[in-house]
Amino acid sequence: MIDPFGRHITYLRLSVTDRCDLRCTYCMAEKMTFLPRKDLLTLEELDRLATCFIEKGVKKLRITGGEPLVRKNIIRLFNNLGRHVKSGALEELTLTTNGTQLKHFADDLFKAGVRRINVSIDSLDLDDYKRITRGGNLPDVLEGIQAAIDVGLEVKLNCVALKNDNVEMIEEMMVWAHARNCTMTLIEVMPLGDVGADRLDQYIPLTDIKDKLQKKYTLTAMAKRTGGPSRYMHVKETGGEIGFITPLTQNFCEGCNRVRVTCTGKLYMCLGHGDAADLRQVMRQEQTIGGHDALAQAGALIQNHEMSFDNGLLKAAIDEAITRKPKAHDFKIEKSNQRPALARHMSMTGG
Ligand code: SAM
Ligand code: SF4
């Protein structure tokens, strides 16, 4: 898959649910209306879609949400997708999680073929964590991180920098992460979805945080790129790495190799644009044409991934969508622009 700007699409982020057991203030509103379950792709459809993308050249697959580990029977999906890691078709199967359920799943994830995970954690202070996540219990996440490290998963920590909530805590988090051999990545808050808060009260440019860290630590830019938007720096004093994802202060689109599929099967070519292709409709149409509809609905396919669809329509729909991938996103947070850049929450498309 090559887009009109010559970028090879090799990375898929697949959201498996819009639901979550937390309500982070920058991600969701306090009262969220979630999608009816019938609108979600079934586990079979998620497997079929991911497999189709892998056949079309995706090498890295990240499962996300919402919170992927609250989706019922999610380990079945990981176990099935693990076959692509075993065959060598997929270089990496990974996930982004808030870590609350990780202690229950770390072992299963490793057995399924996952080797690296991202865990989102925005504070190490019990009360601040509870406030930012609207009710989350920090010890659950810390136990989850330890369980993941113990089974041999490489853990990267994601932290959204929040002007009034965690700026003072970031240095401590970095030192904490590096002491556990974890890379920490800081993320600038993005104006996605109405979260019932003023984005200007949340947003702080990462350049401010980097400047502050540089007063105390020796940060050296690294050539390392993971195909994502993160720019990494080595921290001499801790021996660890810190990543910066700066959608607002520094555009990173020229090297974008990714697309995203929502839990309802909408393919977004860019996180910052509204244009999408409805792959669920194409898949269900193809199922009906193929006569497999009843079986798929009954959930029989995931037990038997030998069952095949032609997938011709699905692949054609993906190809057509890739021709519409835009050159760059267009996020802004400024006084004259208080509305979300996009009505869609991050939990819909997956981070
Ligand atoms: N629930 C999982 C988690 O929190 O890791 C996966 C989904 S979450 C939407 C993925 C990532 O997006 C998290 O690291 C989260 O902090 C980040 N995120 C959510 N809303 C965001 C926003 N408005 N701006 C920047 N990052 C955001
Ligand atoms: Fe849930 Fe992740 Fe969004 Fe927080 S960032 S509300 S954990 S989906």
Answer whether residue 162 is part of any domain: no
Domain count, the chain: 1
Answer whether residue 218 is part of any domain: no
Q: Which atom of ligand 2 is nearest to the CA of 67?
A: 8
For residue 68, pLDDT over 70 is answered with: yes
Q: CA-CA distance, 130 to 122, in Å (whole number)?
A: 10
What percent of the chain has a predicted confidence (pLDDT) above 90? 67
Answer whether residue 189 is part of any domain: no
Pocket test for ligand 2, best of 19, 26, 28 (most atoms within 8 A of CB): 28
Specify whether the CB–CB gap between 113 and 60 falls below 8 A: no
Is the C-beta atom of 66 inside 6 A of ligand 2?
yes
Q: CA-CA distance, 340 to 271, in Å (whole number)?
A: 13
DSSP 42: P
Reported in sequence order, the residue ranges of the chain that DSSP labels E, i.e. its strands, are 11-15, 60-64, 92-97, 116-120, 154-161, 183-188, 219-221, 231-235, 241-245, 258-261, 266-268, 276-278
Answer whether residue 38 is part of any domain: yes
Ligand nearest to the CA of residue 69, numbered in listed order: 1
From first CA to last CA, the distance across the chain in angstroms is 22
Answer whether residue 140 is part of any domain: yes
Among the listed ranges 85-89, 158-162, 189-193, which one has the minimum average pLDDT value? Answer: 189-193
Answer whether residue 101 is part of any domain: yes
Answer whether residue 24 is part of any domain: yes
Q: What is the pLDDT of residues 211-251, one digit of tens each?
A: 999 999 999 999 876 656 788 999 999 999 999 988 766 56
pLDDT at 249 (0 to 100): 63
Question: In angstroms, what is the span from residue 214 Cα to ligand 1's centroid?
Answer: 26
Q: How far are the Cα atoms of 109, 140, 141, 265, 284 from residue 101, in angstroms, in the given order?
A: 12, 7, 8, 25, 32
Answer whether residue 242 is part of any domain: no
Please name the amino acid found at residue 64: T
Question: In angstroms, what is the span from residue 297 Cα to ligand 1's centroid?
Answer: 31
Ligand nearest to the CA of residue 20, numbered in listed order: 2
Instruction: Specify the residue with its C-alpha closest to ligand 1, atom 10.
Output: 351
Pocket test for ligand 1, best of 19, 160, 166 (most atoms within 8 A of CB): 160
Q: What is the pLDDT of residues 180-214, one digit of tens each?
A: 999 999 999 887 677 777 777 788 889 999 999 99
SS3 68: helix
pLDDT at 91 (0 to 100): 97
Q: What is the pLDDT of residues 265-311, one digit of tens each?
A: 999 988 778 889 999 999 988 876 654 544 454 444 444 444 456 78
Q: What is the CATH number of the domain that holds 76?
A: 3.20.20.70
Domain that holds residue 106: 11-157+256-349
